[in-house]
Amino acid sequence: MVIYGVYIVSKSGGLIFNHDHNVPKIENEQTFSYPLDLKLAYENKKVVVAFGQRDGINVGHVLMSVNGSSVAGRELEDGRDVFDLFEQPENFPLTLKFGRAKMTTNEKIFLASMFYPLFAIASQLSPEPRCSGIEILEADTFRLYCFQTLTGVKFMVVAEPSQLGMEILTKRVYELYADYALKNPFYSLDMPIRCELFETNLITLLDTVEKSGISNV
């Protein structure tokens, strides 16, 4: 029973609130000898595994640190290039830490605005007339629930596929939004929500739903 996160998107497609609830950390540290049995590539300012997944290190994982010193872009803290480092046998053995990249706030904003056209196209491509946009999107690792209010604000919850009652949860989050964000005189519409009461109440709600199910809310 895990809820991964909550996103609120304004009617113009901007991300106005996001909360990461229980995001699992996937990290793996291992010692490697020369030559590396992983194929690494440099994309989007990150060193990622391109081929050769094993022992929990999967394709798409990002190189996080080398011998304990963190990697920024393709450089170590002391300014050495990691690809040069891996080419010289005398540097080995090396302890490398790989992990699944965490989304930055910028990426979240980007994804939120990406969901907006998907939602619209889904209703346009509908084989039935008068259809809504995406309500549930399922992948093998998570399920995304989206509830659009009459005013066009979207409440999205990302949770485990087995988690029940998430449709109700999205509506409960809407209630909290109406109570603590909209009634806050310092909150201006369509702007990012920075209301402490809203956030604390939301966290309590998510915790109770995770522990005792939606029926007790």
Q: Which residues bind other proteins (CB under 8 A)?
A: 4-5, 23-24, 26, 58, 60-61, 100, 103, 107, 111, 114-115, 117-118, 121-142, 144, 158
The SS3 of residue 57 is strand
- Residue 88: how many CB atoms within 10 A of its CB? 9
Nearer to other proteins, 98 or 180 (CB): 98
Nearer to other proteins, 36 or 137 (CB): 137
Which amino acid, residue 204?
T
Nearer to other proteins, 3 or 195 (CB): 3
Nearer to other proteins, 7 or 180 (CB): 7
Nearer to other proteins, 91 or 165 (CB): 165
CB of 190 to other proteins, least distance (A): 23
Sign for the pseudo-dihedral over CA of 209, 100, 7, 104: positive
User: Are the C-beta atoms of 60 and 100 separated by less than 8 Å?
Assistant: yes
Tokens for 28?
Answer: 């793996």
CB of 126 to other proteins, least distance (A): 6
* Residue the block writes with tokens 């030559």: 35
Tokens for 187?
Answer: 């909150």
CB of 175 to other proteins, least distance (A): 21
Query: DSSP letter at 199?
Result: H
Computed on alpha carbons and rounded to an integer, the radius of gyration of the chain in Å comes to: 21
CB of 27 to other proteins, least distance (A): 12
CB of 109 to other proteins, least distance (A): 12
